[in-house]
Amino acid sequence: MDDNTPADDRRTARDFDVEIDDVLDEDAEDDEDGLFDDLLRGEPIFENKEVLRPSYTPHELPHRNEQINNMATILVAALRGETPSNILIYGKTGTGKTASAKFVSQELEKTSRKYEVPCEVEYINCEVTDTQYRVLAQLANTFIQQNREFVDDRVDELEALAERARDDPHALDDTEFDSVEEVVERVDSLLDDREEMEDVPMTGWPTDRVYTEFFDAVDYVERVAVIMLDEIDKLVEKSGDDTLYNLSRMNSELDNSRVSIIGISNDLKFTDFLDPRVKSSLGEEEIVFPPYDANQLRDILEHRSETSFKADALSEDVLPLCAAFAAQEHGDARRALDLLRTAGELAERDQADIVTESHVRRAQDKIELDRVVEVVRTLPTQSKLVLYAILVLEKHGVHNINTGEVYNIYKRLCDEIDADVLTQRRVTDLISELDMLGIVNAVVVSKGRYGRTKEISLSVPVEETEAVLEADSRLGDVENVTPFVQARFDNE
């Protein structure tokens, strides 16, 4: 134990040791079952659950050979000291873009170390780092940190060299230096540079200055820098294409280094919003990641389940079912892995010996419900009010709800909580949005000569939705809404 530990803490720790010993020696067998005993008793289902989490980067990516080889063929230029073409990677979520790109960059860096070619890959997730300032600052700081390490190593080398040269004049023969003084001068100049290498603050500077700082940091040593911008569509959506414009024209001004960009996008159409120059520069090479089909998902799950589950922990229909569900969900491998992990967790909670088909079905329901809850929770207040109006009507047994009915209840809810009242036109739009999110179902029906109307119904479970809506601080203030609903003739 650390000597600085206050005396009090030390005593507590010792008491604790004694208690554990007591338990083990005397009471172990006749102890009553505690909270965790039951849960511990079941055979564990998982061998290593981490392997199923999104943060894990697999070493093998079945059915992505073609895309991985394409990337490698383009990036190998970096190992020859040339500038690789920029690459744009497209594909829906869960098609293995991030996993493949990370795999390729790990291999690239590994090989570059082996052959001592200066090549680095910098990964940025633009969903998190979503402004030009922050992207540039993060890149600047990464390169500044590397430059510091470079200088430190170089200074150590040169100091050792100077030391040797003082005893042995031939020590400088194969070097760029003619005298010990020159070596010492170089060390001093490196140390001066080192002094100036300060991190860029994460806010507060003019963006130009951050860019210059980043530019100088990259160019400080000879290298090829591959900058990987994942979820690049989020960056463009939030902050426009300035960052990409600046990055894509850097090479013409860099002296020592070269920059190459890999952009990864979930949105196939995001280049429509780009400046044409950026678009052509960024899209020098394009690689598409198609959705997986059910068989491919099954292979992927088989690979991952070998190390994540205990042997024989899965009944034979589990993987095919997970694969089939995820294939319906646009071939999303993330969804397939989530399903498998959740099914395993449900089996564990049941203290079952194996995961079965029914665990997968329950996992599917649970994930779907979690999704709905999340979508509803993050709706804007006005949409929540519209949804609440529909929910109130459904709860009172009104079927085939029409827009006018929703609007009436909506207005009263707005009054109740002092919210702005939107026009019926806007409310109709919000209903369409809820329809697109899969929360309500709105079908247009023809009423003959009375024209067309919408029939609206809730497509999510009433209870859970109500709970999420009422958890909203504003909607929570709504008192009893029953009197709002007037009986309709067609329900009598």
Q: Which parts of this chain interact with ligand ADP (CB under 6 A)?
A: 54, 58, 61-64, 91, 93-99, 300, 303, 333-334, 337
Closest separation in Å from C-beta 230 to ligand ADP: 7
Q: Residue 354 has which token pair? A: 């194996």
Task: Give the CB-nearest residue to Mg ion.
Answer: 98
Distance in Å, CB of 230 to Mg ion, minimum: 6
Residue 63 or residue 194: which is nearer to ligand ADP going by CB? 63
In this structure, how many other beta carbons lie within 10 angstroms of the beta carbon of residue 262?
27
Shortest separation between residue 220's beta carbon and ligand ADP, angstroms: 32
Does 105 bind Mg ion (CB under 5 A)? Our answer is no
**98 counts as binding Mg ion under rule CB under 5 A:** yes
* Closer to ligand ADP by Cβ: residue 121 or 333: 333
CB nearer to ligand ADP: give 228 or 244.
228
Amino acid, single-letter form, for residue 286: E
Tokens of 89: 């990677």
How near is the Cβ of 227 to Mg ion at its closest, in Å? 16
CB of 64 to ligand ADP, least distance (A): 5
Q: Which does 334 bind (CB under 5 to 8 A by kind): ligand ADP, Mg ion, none?
A: ligand ADP
Partner whose footprint covers residue 274, from ligand ADP, Mg ion, none (CB < 5 to 8 Å by kind)? none
Helix (H, G, I), strand (E, B) or coil at 43: coil
Q: Closest distance between ligand ADP and the C-beta of residue 28, in Å? A: 41
User: Would the CA dihedral through 128, 130, 135, 136 be positive or negative?
Assistant: negative
Reading the block at residue 353, the tokens are 């010996």
Rank residues 143 and 270 by Cβ distance to Mg ion and give the closer one. 270
> Which does residue 91 bind out of Mg ion, ligand ADP, none, counting CB within 5 to 8 angstroms by kind?
ligand ADP
Rounded CA separation 346/332 (Å): 21
Written as six digits, the tokens of 436 are 């697109």
- Residue nearest ligand ADP by beta-carbon distance: 96
CA angle 312, 318, 324 (to 5 degrees): 150
> Based on CB atoms, which residue is closest to ligand ADP, 63 or 154?
63
Q: How far apart are CA 268 and CA 88, in angstroms?
A: 10
State which amino acid sits at residue 314: L
Q: How many Cβ atoms sit within 10 Å of the Cβ of residue 261?
A: 22
Nearer to ligand ADP, 104 or 372 (CB): 104
Q: How many residues bind Mg ion (CB under 5 A)?
A: 1
By CB under 5 A, residue 356 contacts Mg ion: no
> Tokens 């902050």 identify what position?
239
20 CB-near residues (< 8 Å, 6+ apart): none
Q: Which is nearer to ligand ADP, 84 or 331 (CB)?
A: 331
Stretch that binds Mg ion, among 9-17, 90-98, 238-246, 377-385 (CB under 5 A): 90-98
**Closest to Mg ion by CB, 62 or 263:** 263
| Residue 492, burial from CB neighbour count under 10 angstroms (0-12, 13-18, 19+) | exposed
CA distance 297 to 289: 14
Binding partner selected for residue 95 from Mg ion, ligand ADP, none, CB under the kind-specific 5 to 8 Å limit:
ligand ADP
> Least distance from C-beta 126 to ligand ADP, angstroms?
12
Among candidate residues 488, 473, 465, the one with its CA nearest the CA of residue 388: 465
Q: Nearest approach, Cβ of 243 to ligand ADP (angstroms)?
A: 20
CA dist 315 and 331 (Å) reads 22
How far apart are the C-alpha atoms of 478 and 473, rounded to whole Å? 10
Q: Which residues bind Mg ion (CB under 5 A)?
A: 98
